[in-house]
Amino acid sequence: MSVAVRNTRQRRAIREVFEEAKRPLSPEEVCRMAQDKVDGLGIATVYRTIRTLMDEQWLVPVELPGEAARYEISGKDHHHHFHCRTCSKVFEIFGCLGGYTNLVPEGFQLDSHEVILYGTCKDCRKALMN
């Protein structure tokens, strides 16, 4: 038996945050940004809503080694990520160099890949230069 999910103000605000951000977000970032839209929104509601949006396949997790998962809207073209070591934000990088099959050991079969670039984002660079 499936349960109908209500489109509450909180849920709408959380979806809007992902649509406006255009980058992977942590639950804490979502909560902070959505609180500007809905007073009193709590982190537990954000986690529940993220879980529901993943069940609906509207969101997918972005896994970074040694980091808590971030989440982004599903269905995007193939892309990679840039992780700012200063502010910890994660950004999408569209496009791919490809050609990874020549790196695969003989007899292995490549079915996917993820490239994560690390460095400093433009906002943090600008702040560091001032």
Q: Two tokens at 117? A: 């670039």
Predicted local confidence at residue 81, as pLDDT = 95
Match domain 9-73 to its CATH number in 3.30.410.40, 1.10.10.10, 3.40.50.10420, 3.40.50.620. 1.10.10.10
Boundaries of every domain in the chain: 9-73, 79-129
Match domain 79-129 to its CATH number in 3.40.50.460, 3.30.1490.190, 3.30.565.10, 3.40.50.300. 3.30.1490.190
Please measure the distance between the N-terminal and C-terminal CA atoms of the chain and give it in whole angstroms. 58
Predicted local confidence at residue 8, as pLDDT = 87
Per-residue pLDDT of the chain (130 residues), as tens digits, is 344 445 689 999 999 999 999 999 999 999 999 999 998 899 999 999 999 999 999 999 999 999 999 999 999 998 999 999 999 999 999 988 878 888 899 999 998 888 899 999 999 999 989 8
**Euclidean distance between CA atoms 127 and 125, whole angstroms:** 5
**Euclidean distance between CA atoms 29 and 96, whole angstroms:** 27
Predicted local confidence at residue 6, as pLDDT = 57
**9-73 and 79-129 agree in CATH topology:** no
Q: Two tokens at 19? A: 């649509």
Predicted local confidence at residue 2, as pLDDT = 40
Predicted local confidence at residue 7, as pLDDT = 62
Predicted local confidence at residue 101, as pLDDT = 82
Predicted local confidence at residue 113, as pLDDT = 87
Q: Two tokens at 45? A: 């509601």
DSSP code of 39? T
